[in-house]
Amino acid sequence: MKNKNPFNTLFPFDLDKIENLEKIKKNCSNIQYAWLSGYFWNLANQNSSELISEKNKLFQKENTEKTITIISASQTGNARLLAKRFNEYLNNENKKTNLINASDYNFKKIKNEYFLIFIISTQGEGEPPEEALSFYKFIMSKKAPRLDNLHYSIFALGDTSYDLFCQAGKDFDKKFSELGGKRLLNRLDADIEYEENYIKWSKELLLALNKIDISSVSYLKKNNKESFINEVNIYTKYKPAVATVLVNQKITGRNSTKDVHHIELDISNLNIIYTPGDALGIWYQNSTQLIKKILKLLSIDMFDKVKVKDKLITVFDALKNDFELTINTKHIVQKYADITQNKFLKKIISNDKDLNNYVKKTPLLNMIYDYPKKLSSQQLISILRPLTPRLYSISSSQSETNDEVHITVGVVKNMISGTLHLGGASGYLSQFLKIDDSIKIFIEKNNNFRLPENKDLPIIMIGSGTGIAPFRSFIQQRDNDGSRGKNWIFFGNPNFTEDFLYQLEWQKYLKKRLLTKISLAWSRDQKQKIYIQDKIRENGKELWKWVEQGAQIYVCGNASKMAKDVEKALLDVFSENSSMDIEESSEFLNDLRIKRRYQRDVY
């Protein structure tokens, strides 16, 4: 018997049904094809409807589980450290988290966030840290989206000795709220001693998050290379390594207005890996001479015992290692005035402008010298700020120096009322640290100041004074890597003969053509002062060509003056050598920042 449908070996239909399908096919769009596919699949699987229902429930459940995004914006590493701690804290509580640095955050997708925890420090005059600048500009612009679904909390880090205390955190908090965001907790503004505040805030925030049903899955972005480096670098701010001093040499001339030291440390017995762009954290000690002067003026015996972090130690040891003695602050003046009841100081603290001026002009020692008073050792400790480590840009590449790490230290010197006052850390490093001495250190990673991965790309390095330090590490690394990209340095200082830091090295790199060009600005070698920004404008046409060729721009130096003047000069160069106006140039520069082609290490 013949088969009625000759095609049934290929299709499970008779000819009539095939003809009907062909008619439908001719009049359908792609979207309709897709719908029919799903429709017929559903009919074919009606017996599995319960399974489908369960899958849908699971899918819906997965999509209602909200990730807690934790962003850190750090200047000296404290915000980054707290963000990691808070991430671990939430992970231990089975929360779904995404930990990320502000520089890596795709801030244009912030409208999709449900939970956002932002831990942010400040730099300069209350400004956001470098890695959060693009995020800050975006969120403050007209491009910022509505954040009606956002639940957020901000932990702001600052220093109460500055007028604009935690201003960056305050700005983000205000703007998030204006855009419709809802606070999980009120913003917390923390001073340099933030541990108790952090513990209280983290516990209260966990309670706030627990009121909402969220995921029990933990997620953490990690770079394999960074993970390896973190395993090697077991030393931290609170568990520093002990290195040995190999070299401590002044590198400015005898007649220089600046005192700059090149310091080399032996790390051969330490598991330390660093990258050009990183900073070295230094735990310093206060001057014995300074301590004795303060104790004598306050009639305190150096062997008196005080309680510091639940330990009884001598007041001398406490002042040596645990408290800041070289920086005066408004809070110190206020506390000292309250304890001493000094009429002059009482009058000073009643006027904020007078208090600001007094703090700027009067070191702690001078204040005590002018208004001495017999205090107990514990009263003295109560008015002081805790000592914090100082960070210095690393001025060497480990590829070249192997078991050494180098830093370039500018000594802070102030002559006040006929007395020379040295900076706490810079004075310790330059005046008291001798060859073979031990020093406590740690590496502070700076992923926002990195050489390009593409070694053929040109780079432009702009720095004044000790801002030259990281560029020494950059050029050493480029030399070691055999990089073919062009290298251009802009460097400024007062005098050619006295202040040309690492002059012989730069000449060597020029001679071997690794350094393509060096543009120097000596502000006091002629009547009319010439600064680094003048050299940028002078070379504007060529600089713009380098930018068009894909050059990455790096700036290192003073945030409040030098870095701002340089940025203005760059905007002028962009505008004058392209069709952009100043506003468009600003957007272009910010775009370079986002693409990591404009990186700054400012302080």
Residue 386 pLDDT greater than 50, yes or no: yes
The residue with greater pLDDT, 428 or 53, is 428
Q: What is the pLDDT of residue 26?
A: 58
Decide the pairing of beta strands 279-283 and 517-522: unpaired
What percent of the chain is predicted at pLDDT more than 70? Answer: 86
Residue 70 pLDDT greater than 50, yes or no: yes
pLDDT in tens, 166-182: 999 999 999 999 999 99
Confidence of residue 335 (pLDDT cuts 50, 70, 90): very high
Per-residue pLDDT averaged across 129-142, rounded?
Answer: 90
Q: What is the pLDDT of residue 12?
A: 53
CB 75 within 8 A of CB 122: yes
Q: What is the pLDDT of residue 560?
A: 80
Which are the contacts of 35, defined by CB distance < 8 A and separation ≥ 6? none
Confidence of residue 421 (pLDDT cuts 50, 70, 90): confident
Residue 510 pLDDT greater than 90, yes or no: yes
Q: Where are the domains of the chain?
A: 15-50, 65-221, 225-284+389-444, 288-383, 459-602
Amino acid identity, residue 195?
E
Query: DSSP letters along 274-319, please?
Result: --TT-EEEEE----HHHHHHHHHHTT--TT-EEEETTEEEEHHHHH
Residue 517 pLDDT greater than 80, yes or no: yes
Confidence of residue 219 (pLDDT cuts 50, 70, 90): very low
The residue with greater pLDDT, 496 or 158, is 496
Confidence of residue 580 (pLDDT cuts 50, 70, 90): very high
The 3-state DSSP composition of the chain as helix, strand, coil percent (nearest 5) reads 45, 20, 35
Residue 39 pLDDT greater than 60, yes or no: no
CATH of domain 225-284+389-444: 2.40.30.10
Confidence of residue 215 (pLDDT cuts 50, 70, 90): very low
Q: Can you read off the two tokens belonging to residue 380?
A: 């003295």
Per-residue pLDDT averaged across 581-592, rounded?
Answer: 94
Q: What is the pLDDT of residue 27?
A: 62
Chain-wide mean pLDDT for the chain?
87
Query: DSSP letters along 374-429, please?
Result: ---HHHHHHHSPBP--EEEEB-S-HHHHSSEEEEEEEPPEEEETTEEEE-HHHHII
Least confident stretch, 20-29, 61-70, 290-299: 20-29
Residue 550 pLDDT greater than 90, yes or no: yes
Phi and psi of 470, rounded to 5°? -65, -25
CB 243 within 8 A of CB 265: yes
Q: Can you read off the two tokens belonging to residue 570?
A: 């760059």
Per-residue pLDDT averaged across 71-81, rounded?
Answer: 89
CA angle 553/162/379 to nearest 5° reads 135
Annotated binding site for FMN: 74-79, 121-124, 157-166
pLDDT in tens, 81-134: 999 999 999 999 889 899 999 988 988 889 889 999 999 998 877 889 888 998
Annotated binding site: 74-79, 121-124, 157-166, 326, 360, 390-393, 408-410, 423-426, 523-524, 529-533, 565, 603
The residue with greater pLDDT, 111 or 280, is 280
Q: What is the pLDDT of residue 40?
A: 57
pLDDT in tens, 464-507: 999 999 999 999 999 999 999 999 999 999 999 999 999 999 99
The conformation of residue 444, written as its DSSP 8-state character, comes to E
Q: Can you read off the two tokens belonging to residue 579?
A: 């069709």
CA 186 to chain centre: 24
Burial of 146 (0-12, 13-18, 19+ CB in 10 A): exposed
pLDDT in tens, 228-265: 555 556 899 989 999 999 999 999 999 999 999 999 99
Annotated binding site for FAD: 326, 360, 390-393, 408-410, 423-426, 603
Residue 296 pLDDT greater than 80, yes or no: yes
Beta strands, E only, 419-526: 419-422, 438-444, 459-464, 487-493, 517-522
The conformation of residue 67, written as its DSSP 8-state character, comes to P
Does 65-221 match 459-602 in CATH topology? yes
The yes/no answer on whether domain 65-221 falls in CATH 3.20.20.80 is no
The yes/no answer on whether domain 288-383 falls in CATH 1.20.990.10 is yes
> In this structure, which CATH number among 3.30.930.10, 3.90.226.10, 3.20.20.70, 3.40.50.80 belongs to the domain 459-602?
3.40.50.80
CB 120 within 8 A of CB 128: yes
Q: What is the pTM of this model?
A: 0.75
Per-residue pLDDT averaged across 359-381, rounded?
Answer: 94
pLDDT in tens, 306-316: 999 889 999 99
What percent of the chain is predicted at pLDDT more than 90? Answer: 70
Annotated binding site for NADP(+): 523-524, 529-533, 565
Confidence of residue 65 (pLDDT cuts 50, 70, 90): low
Q: Helix and strand tally (H, E) in the chain?
A: 24, 21
CB 492 within 8 A of CB 532: yes
